[in-house]
Structure 1
Amino acid sequence: MTQSIQGSEPSILEHLVAQNGIGTEFIDAWGNPATIDKSNQQKLLQTMGYPLDDERALEAKLEEEAIFEWQRPLNPVYVFRNGQPLMLTIRCPIGDAAQAHTIRLITESGEKSAVKFNPVDGELLATQEIDGIEWHQYQVRLELNVDIGYHDIALFLGRKKQQVSKLIIAPEKCFSPKAVEQGKKLWGLSVQLYCLRSERNWGIGDFSDLCFLAKQAASLGADFIGLNPIHQLYPANPDACSPYGPSSRRWLNYLYIDVEQVAGFDSKSVQAWMKNENVEQRLVALREKDWVDYIAVSELKLDALKLVFDEYKTRFLSKQTKQKKAFDAFIETGGESLDGLATFEALQMHLKSQGKDYWGWPVFPDKYKDANKPAVRQFTKKHAEEILFFKFLQWQAQLQFEQASKVATDAGMEIGLYRDLAVGVSDGSAEIWSNKSLYCTDVSVGAPPDILGPLGQKWGLPPMDPKVLVEQAYQPIIDLFHSNMHASGALRIDHAMALLRLWWVHNEDDASQGVYVNYPVDDLLAILALESQRNQALVIGEDLGTVPDEIREKLQDNGVYSYRVFFFEQAEDGGFFSPSHYPVQSMSTLTTHDMPTLIGYWHCDDLTLGKELGLYPDPDVLQSLFESRHENKQEILNTLHGHHSIGEHISRDVNYVGMSKDLNFGMQKHMAGGSSALLSLQLEDWLEMDKPVNIPGTFNEYPNWKRKLSRNLEEIFSRADLRALAGDLTHLRKQASS
């Protein structure tokens, strides 16, 4: 940015910062006020398309934006809560202000109604002269009775249509199950689905394993199974396996399909392939591995599914069967999003087969770098069969997930399955490729420095541009919430603060040089409430880290459940809060996927491993972490003994206490007596495992997202000690309910 702009028009920058929701200050993780550097704000504005180095170009862009905004009669979308007055912002030339206008409403059910008004009868908000014509902005109240839902409104001046916009009417808050509303305290198990071992899967947990897990857990008193994000990853690049860096958050990971449950698997051709390729022997080897071999698993599953698809087409899709009608309906409902994903995946496979770079759209040939390019349309015609195959995988994945959900609810679970929504998609993803204008690809989402990450975090996930999101009438968010709540009893939103603001870091900068960008939180929460009620899905907001009180209050008011992790619930004096003091409107847990297991925590395995991996280059910092851990463990013992959650045979002196089954189970039962409506416990801790599933801050240093459970599912639920633990948890939860 030039000095002339800074010196002569400092208000321009302030205006742009405010207009684009860019933050100027925040409270850091230590409770101290922090100011965002202006140079970082300016760099962010440049990535948003503002030419700060060219005064004339900047003025032209600002004038263009102002004219566009003023000459648009309606906003792209209006969001209201049910029962709230419909106050619409409307713009028109002064000469039309006293003329009769009409708003025509078409509800999502197809009902039509209209209301007439003169803008001048509303409240005048602002005026602006453009090319000699004075434009007025009014706030007009519409006397329309509209039910909750997504509706269309059209503005007419006389018989001339001016504009069509979306009208969203949302309920007051998110859904909560009747049992929870009545005070029942529930517990459930959280799992990384790919980690599940069984005697029959193909080297990775699948939806049939999930059915078994849900049924068995329900029989022991569990009311939900919490899942990792099961978003679609990359069929052409299976080792890109982080569930938090998906290709699409709207669609499912095909690797979770149980191939043997797809109609056509029993065909002669598939069975001959199984025999000729020694598939059974290969499967035994994959099951025995302690880490998921994504490449080998993907190769086997894709080969099998292609053969099954060929058989399925012959049996069902070559004629007018109920299966063909259902598949056609699925494709129609999936629309452009499904088309984009399937085309992207077929294109990746094609480029891979040609020996070209394929990991994501940034390395595609120029003619393929955007979903809307002519060459892509030509590709879809030439490779229609491959594209149809990837659509078929999504259909089968959805059918099997729906079946797992039905098994969970039929088994008596109050909530059933709950899904996890990742905060974004990776930079080479299909989701970005299909909607480039929505994402700021020169930026990554992350987090400012905090206690767990003193250098800050940078996640490699390009953020949505909040202004473009509004221009697209929130449709990407609507689709995202709807698809992730479908057939689910609850949805956990990872980094729920994203509804209010996100830490944007330019790709060339360190995480500490980020800037907070605000999002239309009230509108997003309204849409979340609407989809929650429609899908009958409870919502849990992961509100950890640098979270302002504002968002926690908004989440609570909107019926979103807080997320409370035992190890983070610590008072200023170092003591741990009793779970009986946690908010009722919350889900509590001992550990998360980003933390060590109970054994790993107690034995400081995470710190030792971090040292080996070079995560703690400063020995003094590492020593302070060991000392802090020792102090925390003593405080945990004090808490557990103080609440009689463990027996006196466990010493009160941390120097004499290692992690044992009694201490492990005692901690879980300590949580069960708490006040949170929901309690989630990890299967890893049931099995007393030591290795973590993920080490934040590592990429190739550790095999993240690959570690399996130490035991098969069939064995887990036959163990007397675990069945007894489940019985104790159920009893304690009932006691806490009364």
Structure 2
Amino acid sequence: MTTNDSPTPTLAALAQAHGVATGYWSFFGDRVEVPASTLRRILTAMGIDAVDESSAQAALTAAEEAPWRALLPPSVVVRRSGGELLVHVADGCDVELTVMLEDGSRRGIPIPAQQPVSRRIDDVAVWRVAVPLPTDLPLGWHSLHAREHRYGTPSRTSMATLVVTPDRLSAPPTRPGAGDRAWGLMAQLYSVRSRQSWGVGDFADLGDLATVAAQRGADFLLVNPIHAAEVTTPIEPSPYLPATRRFIAPLYVRPEDIREAAYLSADERSLLDAAKAPAAATDTDPERVDRDIAWIAKRSALEIVHRAPRRAARQRSLDAFVAAGGSALQDFGLWCALEEHYADLPDGEERPDEARDIGSPLVARLRAQLADRVDFHVWLQWIADEQAQAAQRDAKESGMSIGVMHDLAVGVDPDGSDAWSLRDMYAPGIRVGAPPDMYNQQGQDWSQPPWLPSALAASGYAPLRDMIRNLLRHAGALRIDHVIGLFRLWWIPAGLGPTTGTYVRYDHEAMIGVLALEAERAGAVVIGEDLGNVEPWVRDYLASRGVLGTSVLWFEYEGDGLKPPEHYRTEVLATVNTHDLPPTAGYLAGEHVELRARLGLLTEPVEEVRAAAAAERDRMLATLRERGLIGAEASEQQIVEALHVLLTASPSLLLGVALVDAVGERRVQNQPGTHREYPNWQVPLAGPDGRAVLIEDLATDDRFAGLTRTVDRALRGA
């Protein structure tokens, strides 16, 4: 960085006032100063003019005065044990405060005597009054109301969202007599197929896999995000780059399981079977999951079922679902219909810019014109919701104490539904990613727009609430991918590389509070993926709120060596590997090095990286031998089982077993830093012989039986 691109003190202060880091510590321990050009690009995306020194100074003054100009802040998120409200009152005025609770009742809030601080705004003295909120307010979404008056004459009124959140979530539930710890399977749902699948794992497969896992002693089943993707082909393979995080992917629907399918005529059933045939033919393909073939087949079948008549009770259920979904559900259905509409444009004709604005007259006309397709996609959400509910019911009835554990992606596709219908919530011209680290030495660009912190606060955190609430409707737990994103995100100006970005801070007390409230109401466990460059205080904070962290065996170090599992944190989900690494068999073979070398992702000589990986593996094997967990000539399967037994020596509340480890798969599901170079998120479940493994095969799979039995016995002390 050259000195002429260093920020001035004014620009630096402005950036900091809006939560934009002017410097940070890298993964490698270096202090990095952020150039002025990056700061200006990010501030512009926030709607702040900082093009030159005078505009930056004006924006800084506006930022400092903004809280003093508002009677109430836009939203207030507090813990049930109490919190403080800052009210800004004009000199010579009194203020009355009330809270309207969710149940419609009202309560006055007394203002204690105090010595407030003041500031002059437009030549008027404004007083900052600190008001403690009552400690007996119920959990929930309430509203604050303030009325300022001078000598009894009203001057200003203001309203703010008030969110009262639990101080701490409860510990994860376990089976009776099983102690306070539990284990579960981790799987990529799309990759786990059965003989009844349509080429991709679905909600029926989810329920069956949960049942199989529960019979082996598992208490949860963690799956990839099931957020909805595109409704036209090609479908984005990554479940972490969805069109929306508020709605479910109909790709996971099993058409035959829809109740109305039972009433199809013989001809209609023949059409459904014919639609299924090309997709079902790929169920045993061990090379690639083809979402496009699966969705084309399912959409055709689902359109047939959609036309079938519904009983009065079923129609009432659909009507209630649609009413509860409100405008958000209708807008999602409209986005789906628009995607189909514009996918059929003649060659050379482009979608008009007006169609990208949900409030435009063109979109209003198309909403009416495409009403039938909107209804179809709204109906699909009802069906997907029903089948997701059935999967969780299967998991619980099979004996799981937690059941299905869903996964929340970091963000959304910039061309997807959420970015379209909630456009004002996202920062334009910015992409989210991560700075360089040991495994991604060129950094990462996830191609996702970030939420605007100020827009979230102004909305009362409603988008966050709705997203969490919908995901937890039929789940016992939620994993938050990159949970540090609720504290800060790595913003990258569009067109620049990941190394040019910087961190932007979010109000973590509010974000985690909303998450905790919705989880508490759903009775769900929350796990935050807190790997990588995460400050210790963040992990401490999450633990204090009852949000579990994450530990991965290969990433845990202490001093110059591997950390003994006995020294792991208690409140974590501990695993041997992650979906961003090869399965354990592949990792032991150094596939994580060889693959990155083949794809040109290494920034260090391959011989050095290969040697470091071999040394890491040898240290781990030596640890296993020292503990008597393997012999000198241990097989690959014995080593995999021993690594999981080693993990059970930790005090961690939850232990995860990757399904790929349980069947001997070697291929990684996702190679960070790649897009088209590797078939990310498209690798079917297969065994060491390269043949596809279906759910029906698990009952007779010796490796599956061996690993699950070993983990269950070790954890239960049997």
TM-score range, shorter chain: over 0.9
CA distance in 2, matches of 1:68, 1:33: 32
1:164 aligns with 2:155: no
Offset at 1:55? 5.6
Residue 115 of structure 1 and its aligned partner are, at CA, apart by 3.9
Per the alignment, residue 251 of structure 1 pairs with: 247
Q: Which residue of structure 1 lines up, in the alignment, with residue 71 of structure 2?
A: 73
* 1:112 corresponds to: 106
Q: Look up the match of 1:655.
A: none
Structure 2 distance, partners of 1:356, 1:397, is 33
- In 2, Cα distance between the equivalents of 1:472 and 1:258? 36
Equivalences for 1:676-695 in 2 at 5 Å? 676-695=652-671
Q: Deviations over 1:261-292 (max 9, x none)?
A: 11222344575363587345424422232211
Preserved CA contact (<8 Å) 1:5 1:55: no
Unpaired segments ≥5 residues, structure 1: 651-658
1:490 aligns with 2:477: yes
**Residue of structure 2 equivalent to 1:25:** 23
Superposition deviation, residue 140 in structure 1: 2.5
Distance 1:127 1:380, change over 3 A: same
Per the normalisation by structure 1, the TM-score is: 0.90
1:128 aligns with 2:112: no
- Among 508, 531, 534, the alignment partner of 2:495 is 508
Distance across 2 between alignment mates of 1:39 and 1:367: 31
Residue 213 of structure 1, aligned match among 202, 209, 212: 209
Corresponding position of 1:149: 140
What is the aligned partner in structure 1 of residue 690 from structure 2?
none
The CA distance in 1 between the partners of 2:405 and 2:307, in whole Å, is 33
Question: Which residue, out of 680, 683, 689, partners 1:707?
Answer: 683
Match of 1:621 in 2: 605
Q: Is the 8 A contact 2:276 2:297 kept in 1?
A: no
Does the CA-based 8 Å contact 1:125-1:139 persist in structure 2? no
Indicate which of 582, 602, 606 corresponds to 2:588. Answer: 602
Q: 1:546 aligns with which of 533, 550, 555?
A: 533
Structure 1 residue corresponding to 2:433, chosen from 439, 446, 451: 446
Whole-Å separation in 2 of the counterparts to 1:186 and 1:546: 27
Matched, 1:586 2:572: yes
The aligned counterpart of 2:640 is 664
Q: Would you say the 8 A contact 1:351–1:357 is kept in 2?
A: no
Taking structure 1 as reference, are residues 175 and 268 closer, same or farther at Cα in structure 2, changes over 3 Å only?
same
CA contact 1:154–1:164 (8 Å) conserved in 2: yes
Aligned counterparts of 2:28 and 2:377: Cα–Cα separation in 1: 47
Matched AA of 2:436 = P
Query: What's 1:577 paired with?
Result: 563
Describe the superposition over 1:380-420 as per-residue Cα deviations: whole angstroms up to 9, x where unpaired: 11111111111111111111111111111111111111011
2-side partners of 1:347 and 1:392: how far apart?
A: 16
Alpha-carbon offset, residue 82 of structure 1:
1.1
Q: Is the 8 A contact 2:40 2:51 kept in 1?
A: no
Cα RMSD of the aligned pairs, angstroms, is 2.6
In the aligned structure 2, how far is the partner of 1:53 from the partner of 1:719?
A: 64
Which letter does structure 2 place at the counterpart of 1:108? E
Correspondence 1:274 to 2:265: no
Of 210-219 and 373-382, deviating more is 373-382
**Which one-letter code corresponds to 2:524 in the other structure?**
A
Structure 2 SS opposite 1:265: helix
Deviations 1:279-314 (A, max 9, x none): 454244222322111111111101111111111xx3
Matches within 5 A, 1:157-196: 157=148, 160=154, 162-179=157-174, 183-196=179-192
CA distance, structure 1, for counterparts of residue 279 and residue 246 of structure 2: 30
Judged with a 3 Å threshold, the aligned counterparts in structure 2 of structure 1 residues 115 and 239 are, in CA distance, closer, same or farther, namely closer
Q: Distance in 1 between matches of 2:37 and 2:363?
A: 39
| Partners of 1:123 and 1:139 within 8 A in 2 | no
**2:97 alignment counterpart:** 103
2:371 alignment partner AA: A
Q: 1:238: how far off?
A: 4.2
**Pairing partner for 1:203 from 199, 202, 215:** 199
Structure 1 residue 102: Cα displacement: 2.3
Report the Cα distance in structure 1 between the residues aligned to 2:222 and 2:447, rounded to whole angstroms: 25
**Amino acid paired to 1:162:** T
For residues 365-514 of structure 1, what are the structure 2 equivalents within 5 Å?
365-514=352-501
| Other-structure match for 1:558 | 545
Q: CA deviation at 1:61?
A: 5.3
Cα distance in 2, alignment partners of residues 60 and 450 from structure 1:
37
2:711 matched to 1:735? no
Of 383-392 and 276-285, more deviation after overlay is shown by 276-285
Q: Counterpart amino acid of 1:485?
A: L
The one-letter code of the counterpart of 2:99 is L
Could you tell me how far 1:183 is from its partner in structure 2?
A: 4.7
Q: 2:305 aligns with which of 280, 286, 308?
A: 308
Q: Do 1:50 and 1:61's aligned partners in 2 also have CA atoms closer than 8 Å?
A: yes
Secondary structure of residue in 2 paired with 1:249: coil
Post-superposition shift, 1:483?
Answer: 1.8
Cα separation, partners in 2 of 1:270 and 1:330, compared to 1, 3 Å: farther
Kept after mapping to 1: 8 A contact 2:10/2:56: no
* Residue identity matched to 1:79: V
1:6–1:420: structure 2 CA closer, same or farther, 3 Å change rule? closer
Looking at structure 2, the residues matched to 33 and 68 of structure 1 have their Cα atoms a distance apart, in angstroms, of 32
Give, as a single letter, the amino acid of the residue that structure 1 aligns with 2:322.
I
Amino acid at match of 2:103: S
| AA in 1 matched with 2:159 | V
Residue 73 of structure 1: how far off its partner (Å)? 1.1
CA deviation vs aligned residue, 1:302-354 (integer Å, no higher than 9, x gap): 1111111111xx324xxxx2222222221222223212211111101000012
Distance 1:439 1:673 in 2: 44
Q: In the alignment, is the contact (CA less than 8 A) between 1:646 and 1:666 conserved in 2? A: yes
Q: Distance in 1 between matches of 2:496 and 2:360?
A: 31
Q: What's the offset of the Cα at 1:497?
A: 0.8
Instruction: Give the superposition deviation at 1:611.
Output: 2.7
Residue 70 to residue 688, structure 1, CA distance change in 2 (3 Å): same
Once the two structures are superposed, residues 660-712 of structure 1 have per-residue CA deviations (whole angstroms, 9 ceiling, x without a partner) of: 22222222222233321111111111111122111111111111111111211
The one-letter amino acid paired with 1:151 is H
With 36-45 and 397-406 compared, the bigger mean Cα shift is at 36-45
Tell me the equivalent position of 2:32.
34
Unaligned runs of 5+ in 2: 687-692
Secondary structure of the 1:250 match is: coil
SS for the counterpart of 2:676 is coil
Moved more, 41-50 or 286-295: 41-50
Q: What letter is aligned with 2:69? A: Q
Q: 1:5 to 1:244 in 2, by over 3 A?
A: closer
- 1:87–1:140 contact (8 Å) kept in structure 2: yes
Aligned length: 704
Mapped contact 2:65–2:121 kept (Cα < 8 A): no
After the TM superposition, which residues 333-352 of structure 1 pair with which residues of structure 2 at under 5 Å, given as runs? 333-352=324-343
Letter in structure 2 aligned against 1:104: T
